[in-house]
């Protein structure tokens, strides 16, 4: 005689209850304790940490290699996610609210510990060619003209060069060292100043010779990097004889794109005099005025602190600093030697 279905189900239920009664929950170990998952984007936390530490949206953007609007967007995402205001904007500067002041040091400590832990695992990074990440503008206009003098065949001087407009994550090992533009404050990185930057207005020789500078500017298209708006305002307002008004204004995402437009004769551009010195000395670009202003920034060799004693870093740093103190490769020659400006 077959038993009903309910009987089998009841027997299974009694069986599982018996098994569970003798079940002992395992103790949580350090490995099994999983921290709660963050409910805010990591990029938003990085943007806030940099802006809070530097008290400047612009400086945070320079450090992170993004635009100020991108930093502001990430800050809004974080504030919306947390439901509190973390900062108050007061003109170009920012002030931390009470929640922001509480969160900031914890994030700085956390990111610093992560950076130290990652850069501490550097054994494999100290062999083979030095992986160098270079900003495109610096690579094309300053670095490339001088590479013929670099001792590539010397032991400890091997390079693997890449260019990127955004700052690569050196702590994560995306590169060993980099050339960055800014004020020298990058968390967890050693920064050696190569040169500070002054800016001036540049044009191709053909365009520069076509009219008197003020008349030329009035009918020309100014290709202006979005990172140089404040530098343009200062340069123009302090120009002897009064400010000028370009015939048109085209904003570009980098100084390099503005320089390319100027070299091609498409218009004029504001750029760093030091980084373009080889182009100026070679006659490819012409300053429209002798007037130059301090950009408040410079170009830096940066690398993780764990690699500070790496001989490849020391060799590159020594060569770069020596090159900044020498005449540009295109400087006029006098009696077989380059003339100093």
Query: How confident is the model at residue 24, as a pLDDT?
Result: 55
Beta bridge partners, 299, equal: 181, 195
Region for residue 296 given its phi and psi (left: phi exceeds 0; alpha: psi -120 to 50; beta: otherwise): left
Q: Provide the 3-class DSSP secondary structure of residue 181.
A: strand
Q: How far is CA 327 from CA 65, 146, 277, 330, 340, in A?
A: 29, 10, 9, 8, 6
Residue 204 burial class via C-beta count within 10 angstroms: exposed 0-12, middle 13-18, buried 19 and up = buried
Beta strands 221-225 and 248-252, pairing class: parallel
Q: What is the DSSP letter of 127?
A: S
CA 213 from centroid of its chain's CA atoms? 34
Q: Helix, strand, coil % (nearest 5) of the chain? A: 45, 20, 35
- At 333 the pLDDT is 54
Per the structure block, which two tokens stand in for 201?
């207005």
Using CA atoms, how far apart are residues 160 and 139, in angstroms rounded to an integer? Answer: 13
Instruction: Please list, in sequence order, all residues whose beta carbon lies within 8 angstroms of the beta carbon of residue 173, skipping any fewer than 6 positions away.
Output: 118, 125
pLDDT at 135: 94
For residue 156, what are the contacts with CB-CB under 8 A and spacing of at least 6? 311, 312, 315
Q: Cα angle at 69 between 178 and 133, to 5 degrees?
A: 10
| C-alpha closest to that of 285 among 302, 270, 306, 299 | 270
Distance separating alpha carbons of residues 77 and 170, to the nearest angstrom = 26
Supply the pTM of this predicted model: 0.64
129-158 per-position pLDDT tens digit: 999 999 999 999 999 999 999 999 898 999
Enumerate domains of the chain plus CATH numbers: 42-120 (1.10.10.10), 126-341 (3.40.190.290)
Per-residue pLDDT of the chain (341 residues; tens, 9 = 90+): 455 544 545 554 555 455 555 555 555 554 545 556 667 888 899 999 998 998 888 888 877 878 888 898 999 999 998 989 999 887 667 899 999 999 999 998 888 888 766 655 555 455 689 999 999 999 999 999 999 999 998 989 999 999 988 888 898 889 999 999 999 888 889 999 999 999 999 999 999 999 999 999 999 999 999 999 999 999 999 999 999 999 999 999 999 999 999 999 999 999 999 999 999 999 999 999 999 999 999 999 999 988 988 999 999 999 999 999 888 776 665 444 333 33
Q: Which token pair is 220? A: 């020309």
Kindly list the distances between the CA atom of residue 95 and the CA atoms of 8, 10, 147, in Å, as whole numbers in the listed order: 70, 67, 44
User: For residue 10, what pLDDT is reported?
Assistant: 52
169 burial via Cβ count (<10 Å: 0-12, 13-18, 19+): middle
């Amino acid at each position: 005689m077959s038993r009903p279905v309910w009987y089998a189900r009841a027997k299974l239920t009694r069986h599982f209850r018996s098994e569970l009664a003798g079940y002992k929950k395992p103790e949580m170990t350090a490995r099994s304790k999983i921290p709660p998952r963050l409910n805010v984007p990591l990029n938003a936390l990085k943007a806030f940490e940099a802006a809070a530490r530097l008290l400047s949206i612009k400086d945070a953007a320079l450090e992170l290699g993004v635009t100020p609007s991108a930093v502001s967007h990430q800050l809004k995402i974080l504030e919306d996610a947390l439901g509190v205001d973390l900062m108050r904007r007061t003109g170009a500067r920012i002030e931390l609210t009470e929640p922001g002041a509480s969160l900031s040091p914890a994030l700085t400590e956390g990111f610093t510990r992560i950076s130290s832990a990652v850069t501490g695992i550097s054994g494999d990074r100290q062999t083979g060619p030095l992986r160098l990440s270079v900003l495109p503008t610096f690579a094309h206009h300053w670095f490339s003209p001088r590479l013929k003098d670099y001792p590539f065949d010397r032991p400890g001087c091997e390079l693997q060069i890449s260019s990127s407009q955004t700052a690569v994550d050196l702590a994560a090992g995306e590169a060993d060292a980099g050339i960055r533009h800014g004020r020298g404050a990058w968390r967890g990185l050693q920064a050696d100043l190569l040169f500070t930057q002054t800016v001036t207005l540049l044009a191709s020789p053909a365009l520069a010779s076509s009219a008197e500078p003020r008349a030329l500017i009035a009918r020309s298209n100014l290709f202006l990097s979005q990172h140089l708006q404040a530098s343009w305002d200062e340069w123009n307002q302090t120009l002897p004889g009064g400010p000028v008004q370009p015939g048109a204004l085209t904003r570009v995402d980098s100084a390099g794109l503005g320089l390319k437009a100027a070299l091609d004769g498409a218009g004029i551009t504001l750029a760093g005099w030091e980084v373009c010195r080889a182009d100026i000395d070679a006659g490819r670009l012409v300053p429209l005025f002798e007037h130059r202003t301090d950009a408040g920034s410079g170009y830096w060799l940066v690398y993780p602190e764990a690699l500070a004693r790496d001989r490849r870093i020391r060799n590159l740093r020594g060569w770069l600093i020596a090159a900044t103190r020498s005449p540009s490769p295109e400087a006029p020659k006098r009696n077989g030697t380059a003339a100093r400006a």
